[in-house]
A and B are shown apart, each in its own frame.
Chain A
Amino acid sequence: AQRVTQPEKLLSVFKGAPVELKCNYSYSGSPELFWYVQYSRQRLQLLLRHISRESIKGFTADLNKGETSFHLKKPFAQEEDSAMYYCALSGPPYNNAGNMLTFGGGTRLMVKP
């Protein structure tokens, strides 16, 4: 069974401080990993995915298969980063049947001025 764990429900940091949102997963094959973000009163939206290896809004995430982790990092947090962050997992690309997302419980990031 696939599972995503986000151990922190709440992470509070000051503006300019580094941020690391933790995500660990359990999956028997080669998963696709994503970070979704939900700003206040807005819909879930994709922040980044591991296959793209890109930095979005200063955030990066590296897939560590040995530790089965996909932690989200940003060196200098901004107040506008305050939101709910969800780590999610999907099956490998060749499985075109549906590719349901399995979500972690989410971490609320609060960036204080």
Chain B
Amino acid sequence: EPEVTQTPSHQVTQMGQEVILRCVPISNHLYFYWYRQILGQKVEFLVSFYNNEISEKSEIFDDQFSVERPDGSNFTLKIRSTKLEDSAMYFCASRREGSGGQETQYFGPGTRLLVL
């Protein structure tokens, strides 16, 4: 069964450095998402992406964040200048075309980001 994959599984970086988190969504999916979960807190929506543009974003997704689908298979989340509070588990998800809420979002295993 196809799965969403994410790399790396863990990343440690210094405050102020740029990081790129990578995701490979399920191949016939058209909607892509990033969520994050700070340790001990809720899973929070960051951004959704469809047809090569952002369709929704949360207040967390400020100018330090960007997303890109560079090559038709990868979906990346870039944090330009990491802050300590960006330390979290970042989940990628994807879903098929279809009537919005009825389609299941499939999640990747997550990337644990630690900012020192």
Contacts and interface: CB of A to CB of B under 8 A. Distances in A.
A41 B41 CA distance: 18
Given A43-B110, A103-B44, A92 B101 contact: yes
Contacts of A104: 42
Contact of A93 (B43, B99, B105, B106): B99
Interface stretch (A13-21, A44-52, A54-62, A73-81): A44-52
B56 A100 contact: yes
Interface string A4-29: 00000000000000000000000000
Given A45-B107, A98-B48, A32 B101 contact: yes
Contacts of B90: none
Contacts of A45: 106-107
Interface string B78-116: 000000000000010101000111111111111000000
Contacts of B95: 99
Given A43-B107, A44-B107, A100-B58, A91 B42 contact: no
B39 to A, nearest CB: 12
A98 B101 contact: no
A95 B105 CA distance: 15
A106 B93 CA distance: 18
A103 B46 CA distance: 12
B65 interface: no
Contacts of A31: 101
A105 B31 contact: no
B100 A94 contact: yes
| From A31, A42, A44, A106, residue with most partner B Cβ within 10 Å | A44
A49 B58 CA distance: 24
| From A32, A86, A96, A104, residue with most partner B Cβ within 10 Å | A96
B75 interface: no
Given A44-B107, A97-B50, A91 B45 contact: no
Nearest to A30: B101
Interface of B: 3-4, 31, 33, 35, 41-45, 48, 50, 55-56, 58, 91, 93, 95, 99-110
